[in-house]
């Protein structure tokens, strides 16, 4: 739980992201451009990533950096994997469920993860062997409340599990819909409750599984014991990496849909560990 070394530096990065993002929110700027994939990008996304890149370059010049908005910077074996604003649509809508995701990886091994949610006043973090934690956070410097440990749920069968899936079926491809539909068919409850085969409609768009829960991401719901499993598809490595140690240190499990320990294949399955095998069988792509 301590803040020495790499984890301490990760918290400093999160503090900086907090300051930059909240200055943007206070300005009232709601401008956005559209990226090639159709998703929005705001000045906050660009400024946060730019500031974090600069701090890593100054204080950790040997480390590589991989962010969502700019080309990656090569370096040594350690790589910072960052999503400057996860939930840009929520930020633009004035909703609080957006965050900065920060991970440090050596190859495929994610050594630590920090999720900072300024508008929710909360932070989550974990490092190898240090447990998974959350705390209220009112902003730097020194605004962190008493850390509370995170623990996954005890459900031991997929048929008794509450699972989250994101994005909705109309926004993903046929292969991913098949995985989502397989998981939904085997679970007791699915959030959001949709026809995951994609044959139905989704107007208006459904809320994310984390909406109203005080978190920003379904993986955090697994770590907190509020979901038994969470499937995320069509995602970048920066959407996944920071959640891996948080879920694992809370007692849970992570893999991609092929069962590999990889955060760079576009999809992620997080679970409490007890239902992971069944969930993986349900989502595993056909050969």
Contact indicator for 84, 19 with CB cutoff of 8 Å: no
Q: In this structure, are 76 and 165 located in the same domain?
A: no
Q: In this structure, are 144 and 178 located in the same domain?
A: no
Min mean pLDDT across 69-78, 94-103, 150-159, 266-275 is at: 69-78
The whole-number pLDDT of residue 286 equals: 62
CATH of residue 237's domain is 3.40.190.80
Q: Which domain holds residue 250?
A: 158-283
Q: How confident is the model at residue 1 (pLDDT cuts 50, 70, 90)?
A: very low
Q: Percent of the chain at pLDDT above 70? A: 95
Min mean pLDDT across 58-72, 104-118, 219-233, 265-279 is at: 58-72
The whole-number pLDDT of residue 4 equals: 62
Q: In this structure, are 180 and 261 located in the same domain?
A: yes
Q: In this structure, are 110 and 206 located in the same domain?
A: no
Tens of pLDDT, residue by residue over 245-256, are 999 999 999 999
Alpha helix segments (H runs only) across the chain: 5-27, 43-59, 88-92, 174-186, 218-223, 237-240, 243-249, 276-283
- The residue among 99, 124, 149 that closes a domain is 149
Q: In this structure, are 125 and 13 located in the same domain?
A: yes
Q: Is the pLDDT of residue 228 over 60?
A: yes
Q: In this structure, are 273 and 171 located in the same domain?
A: yes
Mean pLDDT value of segment 255-272? 97
Structural domain total, the chain: 2
Q: In this structure, are 245 and 269 located in the same domain?
A: yes
The whole-number pLDDT of residue 203 equals: 64
Helix (H, G, I), strand (E, B) or coil at 135: strand
- The residue among 120, 149, 178 that closes a domain is 149
Phi, psi of 121 (to 5 degrees): 65, 45
Please state the pTM of the whole predicted model: 0.94
Torsion of CA 116, 119, 122, 123, to 10 degrees: 0
- Tell me which residue of 14, 41, 18 sits closest to 119, measured CA to CA: 18
Q: In this structure, are 13 and 145 located in the same domain?
A: yes
Q: Is the pLDDT of residue 52 over 70?
A: yes
Q: In this structure, are 243 and 144 located in the same domain?
A: no
Q: What are the tokens at 53?
A: 């890149």
- The residue among 92, 121, 149 that closes a domain is 149
Q: Is the pLDDT of residue 118 over 80?
A: yes
CATH of residue 41's domain is 3.30.540.10
The whole-number pLDDT of residue 287 equals: 60
CA distance 249 to 126: 7
Q: In this structure, are 84 and 188 located in the same domain?
A: no
Q: How far is CA 129 from CA 1, 3, 126, 248, 279, in A?
A: 9, 13, 8, 10, 26
Q: In this structure, are 86 and 179 located in the same domain?
A: no
- ∠ CA 189-192-197, rounded to 5°: 85
The whole-number pLDDT of residue 8 equals: 95
Mean pLDDT value of segment 161-185? 94
The whole-number pLDDT of residue 78 equals: 95
Phi, psi of 107 (to 5 degrees): 65, -125
5-27 helix and 43-59 helix, angle to the nearest 10 degrees: 150
Q: Find all residues with CB under 8 Å of 22, minimum gap 6, and list them.
A: 118, 139
CA distance 145 to 40: 33
Q: In this structure, are 25 and 117 located in the same domain?
A: yes
CA distance 264 to 272: 21
Q: How far is CA 280 from CA 124, 268, 271, in A?
A: 26, 10, 10
Tens of pLDDT, residue by residue over 10-19, are 999 999 999 9
Mean pLDDT value of segment 52-74? 90
CA distance 115 to 123: 6
**Is the pLDDT higher at 149 or at 198?**
149
The whole-number pLDDT of residue 2 equals: 41
**Is the pLDDT higher at 32 or at 60?**
60
Mean pLDDT value of segment 86-97? 89
Q: How many CB atoms lie within 10 A of CB 2?
A: 8
């Amino acid at each position: 739980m301590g803040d020495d070394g790499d984890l301490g530096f990760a918290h400093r990065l999160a503090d900086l992201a907090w300051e930059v993002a909240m200055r943007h929110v206070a300005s009232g700027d709601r401008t956005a451009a559209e990226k090639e994939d159709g998703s929005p990008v705001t000045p906050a996304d660009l400024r946060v990533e730019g500031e974090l890149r600069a701090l890593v370059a100054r204080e950790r010049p040997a480390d590589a950096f991989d962010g969502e908005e700019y080309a990656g910077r090569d370096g040594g074996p350690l790589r910072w994997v960052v999503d400057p604003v996860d939930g840009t649509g929520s930020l633009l809508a004035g909703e609080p469920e957006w965050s900065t995701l920060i991970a440090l990886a050596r190859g495929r091994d994610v050594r630590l993860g920090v999720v900072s949610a300024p508008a929710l006043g909360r932070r989550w973090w974990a490092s190898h062997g240090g447990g998974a934690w959350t705390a209220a956070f009112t902003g730097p410097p020194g605004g962190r409340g008493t850390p509370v440990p995170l623990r996954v749920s005890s459900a031991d069968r997929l048929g008794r599990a509450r699972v989250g899936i994101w994005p909705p079926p109309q926004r993903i491809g046929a292969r991913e819909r098949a995985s989502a539909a397989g998981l939904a068919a085997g679970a007791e409850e699915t959030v959001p409750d949709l026809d995951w085969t994609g044959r139905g409609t989704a107007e208006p768009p459904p809320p994310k599984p984390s909406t109203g829960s005080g978190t920003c991401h379904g993986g955090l719901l697994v770590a907190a014991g509020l979901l038994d499993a969470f499937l995320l598809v069509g995602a970048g490595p920066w959407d996944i990496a920071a959640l891996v140690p948080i879920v694992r240190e809370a007692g849970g499990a992570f893999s991609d849909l092929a069962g590999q320990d990889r955060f760079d294949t576009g999809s992620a399955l997080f679970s409490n560990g007890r239902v992971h095998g069944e969930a993986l069988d349900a989502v595993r792509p056909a050969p």
